[in-house]
Structure 1
Amino acid sequence: MTSSSAPAPASPGAPQPSGPLRRLTARGRDETHRVASSLELFFDLCFVVAVAQAGVQLVHAVAEGHVGEGILNYAMAFFAIWWAWMNFSWFASAYDNDDALYRVVTLVQIAGVLVLAAGLSRAATQHDFLLVWLGYVIMRLAMAAQWLRAARSARGAERTMARRYAVGVLLCQVGWLGLVVLPEPARPWVFLVMAIAELCVPLYAEKDHGTAWHPHHIAERYGLFTIIVLGETIAAATVAVKSAADEHNALAELLPIAAGGLLIVFSAWWIYFVVPIHGHLRSSARAFVWGYGHYLVFASAAAIGAGLEVAVEQAVGKAHISTLSASAAVTLPTALYLLTVWALHARHFKVGVAQQLVLPVTALLVICCSFLGDWAVFAAGLVSAAAVAIGVTLAARTARRERAADATAAAG
């Protein structure tokens, strides 16, 4: 936003306000001030509905002692959510022209994810994937339509790439039908095969021509979704604590969990955003690894909230699991989050062995906190906060040394 009443000039490649329908052409990677649109933010908020539903099913399964089944169902559901979100986000970064048709098709995709979210409970409890599959049909048909529209405006290798995307999306959607029609024992294998096939579509489609995604915009989109998922984690944990306190009057037992959970989420936010990652996303190879790796970042961040709910239920006697299991429901996803953020983000900006070891060692210590009984979550929160403090201290010390070296060089 600018203080002037006159509209700011559009950046090269930015969508031009020329009418309700415009050609869907690639935007430029050199656009200045490229930020997420209000439609993209709305898209993210609607997707969090599905994330919340996946978390609810994970809580129920773990609290009832069905840990393996719960984690498998959560991994499958979260992959479907994350993959649909990621497909749209990268496409929008390259082709968003914000005309009426683009908006309508995007709203159709939002409707699809809401249908998917409505079917997650039946998929987890009754292994009925029909509603989930129908939601995915809606989302993926809309996504294929976007790619075909982009192909119509493109030429040469770019047109071939867009058509490959459209065909790949449609063929994979046919493959997902196996979750509906095949016997239940075969469905995990169907999921595995189709997940690999989905991951291969972008690699195949872009082998001759890459999309013109914007590094700063993509980094912002992923960061915003991380914030929304962490916010959902706080909301879920808060509701669980309130409900348990009201029903069981066990506020003293819940305070360590609430305080530790808050410290974990605050630390998770700080650690993710301590460095600007867009400068690292300068090649397709790096971008693919970074983008795909965020499945673990998002899934673990959401699972922290589910783990906090499990810990609350165990503390008031509602969960049929041990204290160790309830603690691990928080500490294990926290450790996974720390390790994946380090691998994707932090390690590219750390200087020296000490800085590089902060997050991996913190992840190990967080896991060790699982054995501290009722104080496990609080201890994990303290360890996470200490990691932030140590990281800030080491970074400040390195910055002072660099300034001193620069000053010495200038004086010499």
Structure 2
Amino acid sequence: MNEVSPAIPDSGEDRHATWLELFFDLVAVAGVAQIAHLLHGEPGPADLGQYALLFLAFWTAWICFTLYGNVAGEGTHARTVLAAMFGMAVMAAAVPGVHEGENGQARALALAYVVIRMLANRAWRHRRELLVDWPAAQMSLGVIPWIVSLWANEPVRYRLWALGIALDLWVTFTVSARDIIENRKAHDKREERHSRRRDTVPPVSVAAPHADHLSERLGLFVIIVLGEGVAQVIEAASEATWNRRLYGLASAAFFLLVALWSLSFRHGYAGVPYLTARSLPARAALPLHCLVSGCLAALAAGLGAAAEHPDTLPTGTRWLLCASLAGYFLLTGIAALRRPDGVRRWMLSVVLPCCALPLLIAGFGGGLGTLAVVWLLVAVTLWPTFYESRYSKRADAVSRPGA
């Protein structure tokens, strides 16, 4: 019977995103833009739920092939990746129709998602490797509700999609590496039993992602999301009357996006603020990346809506801006739990006020103008960097001889 080979260590070679991977990520640009547009206007609970569901589905499809390219390297099958790229383009194009309740577009999106997941499963089986860090990439349990949804209508269709995402998360957090290996060994044993010749099934190895390359791909996705924020403001400004109020709002939006970029990359890892390399296992770091990206995409949609209302923000837009920023900092707190020192001080001095202040602005800022709301959010976003610099200077002063 075949045995599973030991884990492959990270080779440490200097790898970067290939032209094929960058071409693949262009679809992520279109997908994030289409999904972010779901939150235009004054989004209600149904719009937010649909946004979260479609963003999770799109990100899941993207990460399956991101991990495949990461592990396969030069052995990546270009035709398989391009086929998945076409499927993601179909998903992105179908998003507006899904939002409007069109059955044809909804079925097209579900079918494209199923095909992408099946392609990923087939690619991993062809490589005879087990990705124990993210088992949902090569397990099809979460795809079954999506297949059933091809014959369902609203609202059952959306419930089935949510069930499929929930099953993927359940597999990710509950199925251990040992379970994955044992299941594959049992599957190989059945294949050997039904084959004419013994030992015809090649051995299976445990795949280990290339950490630096994966960090680069994850960071590129966050850059795409931040770029969508810039695009949303530009699109809204191109159709608005240019005056001093619009100039101030565009400047505030730009400063906010720059501050978020600084937190995510100058003070973060893989686009996640205050995350450090290998401080969290992939099963925790990847969902954190997904949620951070989702909050930033929602914030981008809110900035675009704010540029359309330079005088006073609608209540729904104000809540979208403030709640997405509060969620971003809540996730920052989770990523910072592995800080080597001062975790409690960091939580009380940075995470708590950065989560609470945006929510207070959302709840009691109805009398504030659009410009005031966005500049207040800029001040909240700059606070962690300001606190970090002051705390570092104080720590250096205490550590000096004779202090």
**TM-score interval, normalised by the smaller of the two chains:** 0.7 to 0.9
Change in 2 beyond 3 A, CA 1:383/1:166: closer
2:315 is matched with which residue?
324
2:187 is matched with which residue?
none
- Which residue of 383, 388, 393 maps to 1:391? 388
1:234 is matched with which residue?
230
2:85 is matched with which residue?
110
1:382 is matched with which residue?
379
State the distance in 1 between where 2:56 and 2:308 align: 26
Change in 2 beyond 3 A, CA 1:399/1:351: farther
Shift in Å, 1:146 = 0.9
- Which residue of 135, 138, 141 maps to 2:115? 138
By percentage of residues, which structure has more helix? 1
1:119 is matched with which residue?
94
- Which residue of 70, 77, 81 maps to 2:54? 77
State the distance in 2 between where 1:122 and 1:330 align: 25
State the distance in 2 between where 1:221 and 1:346 align: 24
Shift in Å, 1:189 = 2.5
2:255–2:378: 8 Å Cα contact kept in structure 1?
A: yes
Shift in Å, 1:316 = 6.8
Percent of aligned pairs sharing the same letter: 24
1:304 is matched with which residue?
299
Higher relative contact order (CA 8 A, sep 6+): 2
1:351 is matched with which residue?
342
Paired residues in the alignment total 359
Change in 2 beyond 3 A, CA 1:392/1:274: farther
State the distance in 2 between where 1:167 and 1:273 align: 30
Do structure 1's residue 268 and structure 2's residue 260 form an aligned pair?
yes
Shift in Å, 1:265 = 1.0
1:47–1:110: 8 Å Cα contact kept in structure 2?
A: no
1:251 is matched with which residue?
243
Change in 2 beyond 3 A, CA 1:260/1:328: farther
1:358–1:391: 8 Å Cα contact kept in structure 2?
A: no
Change in 2 beyond 3 A, CA 1:82/1:312: same
1:13 is matched with which residue?
none
Which segments of 5 or more consecutive residues in structure 1 lack a partner in the other structure? Answer: 1-24
Shift in Å, 1:221 = 2.1
SS of residue in 2 equivalent to 1:96: helix
2:219 is matched with which residue?
223
2:350–2:383: 8 Å Cα contact kept in structure 1?
A: no
1:262–1:381: 8 Å Cα contact kept in structure 2?
A: no
Shift in Å, 1:251 = 2.6
1:5 is matched with which residue?
none
Change in 2 beyond 3 A, CA 1:400/1:125: farther
Change in 2 beyond 3 A, CA 1:352/1:117: closer
Shift in Å, 1:112 = 0.9
1:9 is matched with which residue?
none
Change in 2 beyond 3 A, CA 1:123/1:26: farther
Do structure 1's residue 97 and structure 2's residue 73 form an aligned pair?
yes
Which segments of 5 or more consecutive residues in structure 2 lack a partner in the other structure? Answer: 1-5, 182-205
- Which residue of 184, 191, 199 maps to 2:169? 199
State the distance in 2 between where 1:167 and 1:390 align: 43
2:246–2:307: 8 Å Cα contact kept in structure 1?
A: yes
SS of residue in 2 equivalent to 1:73: helix
Shift in Å, 1:123 = 0.6
Shift in Å, 1:165 = 6.2
